[in-house]
């Protein structure tokens, strides 16, 4: 009888926990989804312009698509990214002082190649800081390495850093950028952080500031719960026009 009572108690606890999860998911799903504006990377369907989130929300990276999986047979995806003076820049400690530097992150299945098009480029790979002054110079970040980049110290406020970055293979990363930029724009630069982690996991990236075992556990949980919470990896409104 004692064993039966203990088993019944465990079942009641499990059912109570499951009920809490169901209620929480229902509560989240009941929140109206924000309006999705046609934000994608190419406002007019042209590839020749940089696209950024609306300026009233503060400085933000500006992107221009160069080529994607469709043009390269899936071999690579290439974008140009611009950091203007209002982004700030890096310092001797890295890129944390730049408001436009991406968070330190990892591409688990892709190598990334940077090529400097204008300005001074500072990048951080596994804690090592490098400054590049030469236009046309390249830097390769292998899959699995922690990295970020920014305007290097010493750039004048009116100078813009422009870099080309290519990810190999292309995978579906172009859709990641379209969705991420759209989410930032439609939330006035305050997107749901759990949704962003869901995206990072879905597109084979990891955030270096989250301990890896915890990050993997979050990815596993969000793979199951994310769709129930209404999270998507792509939206029609943010889709790359063709």
Q: How far apart are CA 172 and CA 44, in angstroms?
A: 22
Answer yes or no: are the C-beta atoms of 163 and 62 closer than 8 Å.
Answer: no
Placement of tokens 């793979």 in the chain:
223
The string of DSSP codes covering 11-34 is HHHHHHHHHHHHHHHHHHHHSPPP
Among residues of the chain, what percentage have pLDDT more than 70?
74
The tokens describing 79, both together, are 């974008």
pLDDT tens, residue by residue, 72-112: 999 999 988 889 888 899 999 999 999 889 999 999 999 99
pLDDT tens, residue by residue, 103-139: 999 999 999 999 999 999 999 999 999 999 999 999 9
Count Cβ atoms within 10 A of the Cβ of residue 145 and give its class: 0-12 exposed, 13-18 middle, 19 or more buried. Answer: middle
Q: What is the pLDDT, as a whole number, of residue 181?
A: 80
Best CA proximity match to 207, nearest among 226, 221, 193: 193
């Amino acid at each position: 009888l004692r064993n039966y009572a203990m088993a019944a108690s465990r079942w009641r606890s499990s059912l109570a926990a499951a009920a809490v999860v169901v209620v929480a998911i229902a509560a989240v799903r009941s929140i109206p989804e924000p309006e999705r504006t046609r934000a994608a990377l190419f406002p007019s369907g042209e590839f020749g312009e940089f696209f950024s989130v609306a300026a009233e929300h503060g400085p933000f990276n500006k992107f221009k698509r160069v080529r994607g999986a469709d043009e390269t047979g899936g071999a690579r995806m290439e974008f140009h990214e611009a950091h203007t003076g209002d982004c700030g820049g890096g310092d001797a400690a890295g890129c944390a002082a730049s408001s436009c530097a991406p968070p330190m992150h990892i591409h688990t299945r892709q190598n990334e190649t940077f090529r400097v098009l204008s300005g001074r480029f500072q990048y951080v790979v596994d804690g090592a800081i490098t400054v590049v002054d030469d236009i046309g110079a390249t830097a390769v970040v292998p899959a699995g390495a922690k990295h970020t980049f920014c305007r290097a110290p010493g750039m004048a406020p009116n100078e813009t850093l422009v870099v080309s970055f290519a990810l190999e293979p292309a995978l579906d990363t172009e859709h990641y950028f379209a969705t991420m930029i759209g989410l930032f724009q439609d939330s006035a630069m305050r997107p749901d952080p759990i949704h962003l982690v869901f995206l990072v996991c879905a597109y084979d990236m990891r955030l270096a500031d989250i301990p890896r075992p915890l990050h993997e556990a979050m990815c596993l949980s969000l793979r199951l719960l994310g769709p129930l919470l209404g999270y998507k990896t792509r939206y029609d409104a943010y889709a790359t026009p063709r």
